[in-house]
Amino acid sequence: MKLFKIAVTASIIFTLLATGSCTKDFSEVNTNRNNTTNVTPDLLLSGIIKSTLDRQVNEAWGIGNIVVQYHSKIQFVNEDRYGWNERNDIWNTVYGNYRNLQNIFLIIKDDPTSPYYGVGLILKSWMFSMATDAYGDVPYSEAGKAKIGGVYQPAYDKQEDIYTGILADLKKANEVLATAKGDVFAGDILYGGGAGAMIKWRKLANSLQLRYLMRISKKKDVKAEMQAIISDPAKYPIFEGNADNAELEYLAAAPNQWPLYGNRVGSFDEFRVSKTLSDRMTALGDPRLKVFGRPTQASVAAGTPVILGSPNGLSDVDALAYNGGVQGVSRVGYTFACLVCNDNNQAAPQPDAARGMLMTYAELQFILAEARQKGWITTGDAATYYTNGIKANFAYWQAVVPAAYGLDITMPANYLTQPAVALTGTDNEKLAKIALQKWVSLYFNGLEGWFDWRRTNMPAVIPGPANLNNNKVPIRYIYPQSEQSLNTKQREAAVQRQGGDDMNTQMWLLK
């Protein structure tokens, strides 16, 4: 009897609710008034820049600084031994942010007078350069067209075609930004926005053109294009000093601090200075080493502080035991440390000291030094470009490292004239010196040190004794395994065209 009454009562309540709801607007009832339904380009832009540069930092930390031997590992050493599995973060970051970039283009209706159009082309070019440089052939022309074109399995474009698109977009970006309405430009956390940022973004577009022309120079004659940029600074402005650097300055407050600041001390201390880095810079008497590493705790205790790295590619046992253990191997520089990664009697590091780098004036100068040394451009002098690059990198770290850290990184008076630095010798010897200083300048700049090393094989990168890749340095990432099921046909076509999907397969620009 009780169950019957409950059932009848429930039926009546349901009927009343249903009857009442007929007069309601379901779309109104189901609308979450706290959710944003429209977003402006400035909000999308700042998110794209922050997310991608955070990935630059983390990719440098996890692989970039290891593979070209700025850092080594003393625990969980698979990365250092080339025991790489799939690495999907660049893929996910590029394609995830490209959706937001496309939303910007849709909002502004691809209006070339909008500053967001030109800046969007630059960011698109940079993002896809990272993707193709890491993997080779990747989705490009059909990428991100699921929503606007119903393309859910995009074709993988040839790397050669991707670079053609990248360079064309950068050239177009420079052109449209020359007349863009910069006064309506906000959300620019790289250069500050407004009309004054237009020239900065144009300089970045043209400096990136020179980077990517150099990158494909083994495959194409790039002399005329490089010379055209260098010969006409009014039409093609490029970086003129460190003030033009494309870098993200982090904030002291979370969540916009240096991305590694929240790391556990154990995770941070798995990574140490590489012996390759400490040996090379010690031989040059280079005080920038004090930025990149700290004296070993054992040497500090003994009263004879010295920065000494650990060899790359050791086994777990050998890496942890090297030079008497962790006290005998230098930790990564204090400027890049996590909250609790301070040494004895040191205050916590500053959370906004280090920066997320996209491209610097120093890198550009080394590109021009190499191009001039090879006779690809006729403007300027190789030694001047080279010296400018070194001086700029010293000045950069002097400006970035907090004074509270007490690091004297002044360039020694004889630094530029010592035989190992002065741009003298044969062409190959000069190019090797340019490559070495460029390698130093690319420290903590994503995978750029690796990408440039693959092109020149300078300076030398020697696989460690316990490497798992038959004494070969990896030259690419394998495709994400999710592509095998989600985009099977297109991935297989790319693999057949490019070669086996492994980390030793030469992509187009390396063949």
Q: Is residue 272 domain-shared with residue 381, that is, in the same domain? A: no
Q: Which of 273, 301, 336 is the last residue of a domain?
A: 336
H helices then E strands: how many in the chain?
A: 21, 6
Burial of 185 (0-12, 13-18, 19+ CB in 10 A): buried
Q: Is residue 18 part of a domain?
A: no
For residue 35, the model assigns a pLDDT of 54
Tally of CA atoms within 13 A in the half-sphere of 202 that contains its CB = 20
CB atoms within 10 A of CB 114: 22
For residue 28, the model assigns a pLDDT of 54
Q: Is residue 265 domain-shared with residue 255, that is, in the same domain? A: no
- Convert the pLDDT of each residue in 35-46 to its tens digit: 556 789 999 999
Q: Is residue 124 domain-shared with residue 240, that is, in the same domain? A: yes
Q: Is residue 449 part of a domain?
A: yes
For residue 4, the model assigns a pLDDT of 35
Three-state secondary structure call for residue 248: strand
User: Phi and psi dihedrals of 407, rounded to 5?
Assistant: -100, 120
Q: Which residues of the chain have pLDDT under 50?
A: 1-24, 26
Q: Which of 304, 336, 368 is the last residue of a domain?
A: 336
**Number of folded domains in the chain?**
2
Three-state secondary structure call for residue 54: helix
CB under 8 A, 24+ apart: contacts of 18-21: none
Q: Is residue 331 domain-shared with residue 359, that is, in the same domain? A: no
Three-state secondary structure call for residue 274: strand
Q: Name the residue among 177, 164, 179, 180 with its Cα closest to residue 204.
A: 177
Buried b (16+ CB within 10 A) or exposed e, 431-442: bbbbbbbbbbbb
Q: Is residue 293 part of a domain?
A: yes
Three-state secondary structure call for residue 50: helix
Q: Is residue 216 domain-shared with residue 74, that is, in the same domain? A: yes
For residue 37, the model assigns a pLDDT of 61
What is the 8-class DSSP label of residue 63? I
d(CA 348, CA 362) in angstroms, rounded, equals 30
For residue 132, the model assigns a pLDDT of 98
69: left (phi over 0), alpha (psi -120 to 50) or beta: left
Q: Taking a C-beta distance cutoff of 8 angstroms, is the pair 137, 158 a contact?
A: yes
For residue 32, the model assigns a pLDDT of 60
For residue 79, the model assigns a pLDDT of 96
d(CA 411, CA 286) in angstroms, rounded, equals 8
Q: Is residue 277 domain-shared with residue 369, that is, in the same domain? A: no
Q: Is residue 323 domain-shared with residue 371, that is, in the same domain? A: no
For residue 36, the model assigns a pLDDT of 57
Q: Which helix (H) or strand (E) holds 138?
A: strand 138-139
Q: Is residue 178 domain-shared with residue 157, that is, in the same domain? A: yes
Burial of 417 (0-12, 13-18, 19+ CB in 10 A): exposed
Burial of 90 (0-12, 13-18, 19+ CB in 10 A): buried
Q: Taking a C-beta distance cutoff of 8 angstroms, is the pair 390, 412 a contact?
A: no
Q: Is residue 404 part of a domain?
A: yes
Tokens 């040059």 correspond to 284
Q: Give the domain range for residue 289.
A: 260-336
- What would the DSSP string read from start to end of 439-473? HHHTTTSTTHHHHHHHHH--S-----TT-SSTT--
Q: Is residue 235 domain-shared with residue 280, that is, in the same domain? A: no
- Convert the pLDDT of each residue in 132-188 to its tens digit: 999 999 999 999 888 888 999 999 999 999 999 999 999 999 999 999 988 899 999
Q: Is residue 462 part of a domain?
A: yes
Q: Is residue 101 part of a domain?
A: yes
CB atoms within 10 A of CB 75: 14
For residue 386, the model assigns a pLDDT of 98
Q: Is residue 204 domain-shared with residue 236, that is, in the same domain? A: yes
Q: Is residue 380 domain-shared with residue 406, that is, in the same domain? A: yes
CATH classification at residue 402:
1.25.40.390
For residue 34, the model assigns a pLDDT of 58
For residue 9, the model assigns a pLDDT of 40
Buried b (16+ CB within 10 A) or exposed e, 444-475: bbbbbbbbbbbebebbebebbebbebeeebbb
Q: Is residue 2 part of a domain?
A: no
Q: Is residue 416 domain-shared with residue 307, that is, in the same domain? A: no
The tokens for 43 are: 């909000």
Tokens 């909008």 correspond to 114
Q: Which of 310, 336, 362 is the last residue of a domain?
A: 336
Q: Is residue 226 part of a domain?
A: yes
